[in-house]
Amino acid sequence: MDTVRLDLRGMPAEQQLGILREQYVALRGKGTVVRAYVEERPARLYISMLESGYRVSIEREDGATFLLLRPDGSTPRLGLRGAHSVVAHPDGRIYTNTTGDRVAVLDGSTRKVLRHIPAGENPSHLELSHDHRRLYVANTVSNDVTIVDTSTDTAIKTVPTGKRPLLPCAAPDRDVVYLPSGPDETVTVLDGQGKPLATLPVGQAPHDVAASPDSRWVYQPNSGSHTISVVDARKHSVVGEIPVGLGPGHIAFSPDSRWAYVANTLSDDVSVVDTANHEVVATIPAGAAAHLPTLIHDGRFGYVANFASDDLTVWETKTHRVVARIPVGIYPHFFAISPDGRWIVASNTGESSVCLIDAMSHQTVARLEVGGAPAHLAFDPDGECAFVGCESTDEVAVIDLSGQRVIDLVKAGAGAS
Q: What's the pLDDT tens digit per position in 335-357?
A: 999 999 999 999 999 889 999 99
Model confidence at 75: pLDDT above 90: no
Number of domains in the chain: 2
If DSSP codes are grouped into helix, strand and coil, which group holds residue 19? helix
Of 37, 69, 101, which residue sits at a domain end? Answer: 69
Amino acid found at 378: A
Q: Is residue 416 part of a domain?
A: no
Strand order in the sheet with 154-160: 123-128, 134-139, 144-149, 154-160
> Is 175 exposed, middle or buried, given 0-12, 13-18 or 19+ CB atoms closer than 10 A?
middle
Model confidence at 416: pLDDT above 80: no
Find the CATH number of the domain harbouring 307: 2.130.10.10
Q: Is residue 78 part of a domain?
A: no
Q: Is 366 left (phi over 0), alpha (psi -120 to 50) or beta?
A: beta
On whether the CB atoms of residues 144 and 160 are closer than 8 A, the answer is yes
Q: How far apart are CA 58 and CA 36, in angstroms?
A: 10
Rg (the chain; Cα; Å) = 20
Q: Is there a single domain that holds both residue 12 and residue 37?
A: yes
Q: How far apart are CA 302 and CA 310, in angstroms?
A: 17
Model confidence at 108: pLDDT above 80: yes
Q: Is there a single domain that holds both residue 57 and residue 97?
A: no
Q: DSSP for 245-262?
A: SSSEEEEEE-TTSSEEEE
Q: Is there a single domain that holds both residue 32 and residue 99?
A: no
Q: Is there a single domain that holds both residue 128 and residue 226?
A: yes
Of 21, 38, 69, which residue sits at a domain end? Answer: 69
Q: How far apart are CA 292 and CA 333, in angstroms?
A: 8
Q: Is there a single domain that holds both residue 348 and residue 407?
A: yes
On whether the CB atoms of residues 347 and 377 are closer than 8 A, the answer is yes
Q: What's the pLDDT tens digit per position in 129-150?
A: 999 999 999 999 999 999 999 9
pLDDT-above-90 percentage for the chain: 90
Q: Is there a single domain that holds both residue 267 and residue 325?
A: yes
Q: Is there a single domain that holds both residue 185 and residue 295?
A: yes
If you average pLDDT over residues 310-326, what whole number do you get? Answer: 97
Q: Is there a single domain that holds both residue 284 and residue 386?
A: yes
Q: How far apart are CA 227 and CA 165, in angstroms?
A: 19
Q: Is residue 75 part of a domain?
A: no
Q: For residue 345, what is the enclosing H or E element?
A: strand 343-348
Q: How far apart are CA 82 and CA 96, in angstroms?
A: 9
Mean pLDDT in the chain? 95
Q: Is there a single domain that holds both residue 123 and residue 160?
A: yes
260 forms beta bridges with 253, 273
Strand order in the sheet with 343-348: 332-337, 343-348, 353-358, 363-369
Q: Is residue 359 part of a domain?
A: yes
Q: Is there a single domain that holds both residue 223 and residue 318?
A: yes
Q: How far apart are CA 411 and CA 417, in angstroms?
A: 12
Sequence-ordered list of residues with C-beta below 8 angstroms from that of 38, at least 6 positions apart, any chain:
8, 9, 16, 45, 65, 66, 67
Q: Is there a single domain that holds both residue 367 and residue 233?
A: yes
With 0.85 as the threshold, say if the pTM is over it. yes
Find the CATH number of the domain harbouring 25: 3.30.110.40
11: pLDDT confidence band, cut at 50, 70 and 90?
A: very high
Compute the CA torsion angle 18, 13, 390, 151 (nearest 10 deg).
-130
Mode of pairing for the β-strands spanning 32-38 and 2-7: parallel
Q: Is residue 203 part of a domain?
A: yes
Q: Is residue 350 part of a domain?
A: yes
Sequence-ordered list of residues with C-beta below 8 angstroms from that of 249, at least 6 positions apart, any chain:
47, 207, 208, 221, 223, 263, 264, 265, 291, 292
Q: Is residue 417 part of a domain?
A: no
Mode of pairing for the β-strands spanning 176-181 and 343-348: unpaired
Q: What's the pLDDT tens digit per position in 79-88?
A: 678 999 999 9
Q: Within its chain, how far is the Cα of 337 from the centroid?
A: 15
Q: Is there a single domain that holds both residue 247 and residue 334?
A: yes
Q: What's the pLDDT tens digit per position in 161-203?
A: 999 998 999 999 889 999 999 999 999 999 999 999 999 999 9
If you average pLDDT over residues 20-37, what whole number do you get? Answer: 93
Q: Is residue 168 part of a domain?
A: yes
- Would you state the pLDDT for residue 51? 86
If DSSP codes are grouped into helix, strand and coil, which group holds residue 307? coil
Please provide the distance, in angstroms rounded to a whole number, between the alpha carbons at the two ends of the chain.
51
Domain span holding position 12:
2-69
- Helix and strand numbers, DSSP H then E, in the chain: 2, 36
Of 41, 69, 97, which residue sits at a domain end? Answer: 69
Model confidence at 417: pLDDT above 60: no
Q: What's the pLDDT tens digit per position in 206-263?
A: 999 999 999 999 999 999 999 999 999 999 999 999 999 999 999 999 999 999 999 9
